[in-house]
Structure 1
Amino acid sequence: MEKNDRKHLGKSAPPQSVRGTLQNLMRLIRPYQYTKNLFIFLPAFFDFRMDDPHIAERTFIAFAAFCMAAGAVYIFNDWMDRAEDARHPGKKHRPFASGAISASHAFVLMGVLIAGALLISALLSSVIALLISGYILMNGWYSRQLKHIPLLDVTVIGLGFVIRLLVGADAAGVTLSPWIIVLTFLLALFLSFAKRRDDIIVQKDAPQTAGKPIRKPIGYNLKFIDSSMVMTASVVVLAYILWTFSTEIADRLEQESLYMTSLFVILGILRYMYITFVEEKSGNPSLILLRDRFLQIVLAGWMASLIWILYV
């Protein structure tokens, strides 16, 4: 770390009110990112179990435990990236990068979140506790090293989504279909490549600060990222369509109308590619979902059609 970075990061957080501290702590754990953890509900949903109160309760508890673990991971990731974030035009206002929060407050919260996540998950099952522990350790390694290794970085992100599925499956007591595992992993790869594309654009367009790039080189170029996104998007759509026609689904539903939901999947993928390639705003998938009305309508249509076909 450069001398001026150490100087910036070595200063203590300015005095602030209790309310200001709590607000910055909330920013650190990124509640808006918890939409990713909704994947925990998919195993019960696709196994027709969400109408079982006991299973729904266990799944909600697993979701809460995973959100606590994710919050701790975000704190550690922001701490590791504080020097680079301070030079980033969109991330320089994060609590660590701006010096708005002290490390002591943040690490106490991180410890509480980890302890709470492991305690709650252990009450559900030892398998969920082991999965959440593995998620925390894997992401700690990711923040320290793996995020800078091309292809390994997006693979770890994809595995994180698969772990969410495994947690949801154990909470609901269901067996995961290979289809849902493959689709989830591929979708995570697609979104991860889109995020890396945004990093390349920001790194390319933003001026250097004190002779240093705003981010470390990430080992990709636009040609590779664009090709990878097109490939993964194509495979996601194809895999979803094949799943809707699979004998597994046909035998369980005793009808073949599920293929009609493919329309929403295709529109959703195309919309995200439009946001990525045309608008060039793919840096934060969670915020895109929360702000883009088109994607929200498509997702709502997909969910409504699935609920009608699977449950009604």
Structure 2
Amino acid sequence: MDQIMKAGEVGVMGSQAGLAASGVAVRRKGALRDYLAMARFDHVTKHVFIIPGMILAYALRDPSLNHSIMALVIGFGSAIAIASANYVINEWLDRHFDAFHPVKSGRTAVNAELYPSFVYIEYVLLAAVGLLLAFQLSAPFFYTSVLFLFSGLIYNVNPVRTKDRVYLDVISESVNNPIRLMLGWTMIDPTTLPPSSLLLAYWMGGAFLMGAKRLSEYRDISTDAGVGLLQRYRRSFKFYTAENLTVSCFLYAILSAFFIAIFLIKYRLEYIVALPSIAILFALYLWLSLLKNSIAQRPERLFRSRRLSIALGAVILMLLLATFVDMPLLDYLSKPSFISVK
């Protein structure tokens, strides 16, 4: 917490410089709604990544259905509170950098005078509520929640602050994907953790999403305002180009597919029927990231894309089908065979 306080104090001076350079002026005193806005409760849609963990835990472990609706509510409530704590510290420590971003310069911490002590109190309260709720469920869920909170500190707080480090920024931000998968899994089965192949597939899938987000930002901001402004917004962009970001997206997508294949072979071959729809989803998302003002820059608004919603719905439908319907004919795909030429 001392590190956070020091970062906040340094950020005050940097914020004013950033605001002056970007032409944004602090015009109002912070109100209660401004502190609440920093928690970004409207980003709750990101917790949809918890649901596959719940479905897969039931399908692969077949635990007894003795989980109450209240337990699920507590689990999601914990995840939302911890994610909001991460958002609060993220926006506070980034306010002097966000002032250079054409969209993020409109965030509350950039445009309102906020009391640092109130921000830290909000962070601590949200973190405490999240961990207290997590403690009510199980030890694995609680420890995963601690990891969720810790990932936010690693990503945002100096001296580590991985968001400023090329490629590591994507890898560290996308670790929230497998963490959410573990949260969903341990809600249903608190006695085990998901297979490592599934966690890695989820992680690399998240890296693809974050890489595509940066690719979209790079294309838009560098074209409209120049690379210099982009680099002042995020230090990692000093090393990024449109080319290496595109290549990294392909790499993350291929690695995700590789680990998905390992998972399929080991646990449930039926999921292979969902691979074509997953491939289409990856391709569609990359295409969206190449559009001007792409929705890929604002993941919380992804469901506003009709094409993406349809593609995601197809993936979910195929996964549900593969979860509950056995397909013995698919065993043929796992057995070696050769085409005779005689």
Please, what TM-score do these two structures have when normalized by structure 2? Answer: 0.76
- Structure 1 letter corresponding to 2:96: A
1:263 deviates by: 2.5
Q: Distance in 1 between matches of 2:15 and 2:163?
A: 24
Sort the Cα spacing of 1:142 and 1:172 in 2 relative to 1 into closer, same or farther, 3 A: same
Gaps of 5+ in 2: 1-12, 326-342
- Structure 2 letter corresponding to 1:45: I
Q: Distance in 1 between matches of 2:149 and 2:315?
A: 31
Q: Distance in 1 between matches of 2:282 and 2:210?
A: 13
Q: Distance in 2 between matches of 1:82 and 1:50?
A: 45
* Partner secondary structure for residue 104 of structure 2: coil
1:189-245 per-residue CA deviation (whole Å, 9 max, x = no partner) reads: 10111122233235523447x99964133122221111111122233345435644x
1:52 aligns with 2:68: no
1:4 deviates by: 4.5
Q: Distance in 2 between matches of 1:175 and 1:223?
A: 37
Q: Which segment drifts farther, 132-141 or 178-187?
A: 132-141
* Partner secondary structure for residue 184 of structure 2: helix
Residue 253 of structure 1 corresponds to: none
Sort the Cα spacing of 1:263 and 1:7 in 2 relative to 1 into closer, same or farther, 3 A: closer
- Structure 2 letter corresponding to 1:183: A
Q: Percent identity?
A: 19
1:194 aligns with 2:207: no
- Structure 1 letter corresponding to 2:195: S
* Count of residues paired in the alignment: 299
- Structure 1 letter corresponding to 2:173: I
* Partner secondary structure for residue 176 of structure 1: coil
Q: Which residue of the other structure, out of 173, 179, 196, is the alignment partner of 1:163?
A: 179
Q: Distance in 1 between matches of 2:310 and 2:202?
A: 21
2:26/2:111 contact within 8 Å kept: no
1:11-30 per-residue CA deviation (whole Å, 9 max, x = no partner) reads: 987357xxx633x3343112
Sort the Cα spacing of 1:226 and 1:101 in 2 relative to 1 into closer, same or farther, 3 A: same
Q: Which segment drifts farther, 179-188 or 130-139?
A: 130-139
1:241-299 per-residue CA deviation (whole Å, 9 max, x = no partner) reads: 5644x25214xxxxx4x332222211111110111124462322232x22111111111
Residue 305 of structure 1 corresponds to: 318
1:41/1:59 contact within 8 Å kept: no
1:38 aligns with 2:48: yes
- Structure 2 letter corresponding to 1:303: I
Structure 2 counterparts to residues 105-124 of structure 1, below 5 A: 105-124=118-137
Structure 2 counterparts to residues 180-259 of structure 1, below 5 A: 180-207=198-225, 214-218=232-236, 219-240=239-260, 243-244=263-264, 246-250=265-269, 256=270, 258-259=271-272
Gaps of 5+ in 1: 251-255
Q: Which residue of the other structure, out of 9, 17, 24, is the alignment partner of 1:5?
A: 17
Structure 1 runs of 4+ with >6 Å offset: none
1:120 deviates by: 0.8
Q: Distance in 2 between matches of 1:259 and 1:122?
A: 36
Sort the Cα spacing of 1:3 and 1:171 in 2 relative to 1 into closer, same or farther, 3 A: closer
1:87 deviates by: 2.4
Q: Which residue of the other structure, out of 283, 289, 312, is the alignment partner of 1:276?
A: 289
Over alpha carbons, which structure has the higher Rg? 2
Residue 328 of structure 2 corresponds to: none
1:183/1:236 contact within 8 Å kept: yes
Q: Distance in 2 between matches of 1:138 and 1:175?
A: 18
Sort the Cα spacing of 1:100 and 1:51 in 2 relative to 1 into closer, same or farther, 3 A: farther
RMSD: 3.2
1:14 aligns with 2:28: yes
Q: Which residue of the other structure, out of 60, 65, 79, is the alignment partner of 2:92?
A: 79
Q: Distance in 1 between matches of 2:266 and 2:156?
A: 41
Q: Distance in 2 between matches of 1:108 and 1:301?
A: 43
* Partner secondary structure for residue 101 of structure 2: coil
- Structure 1 letter corresponding to 2:252: T
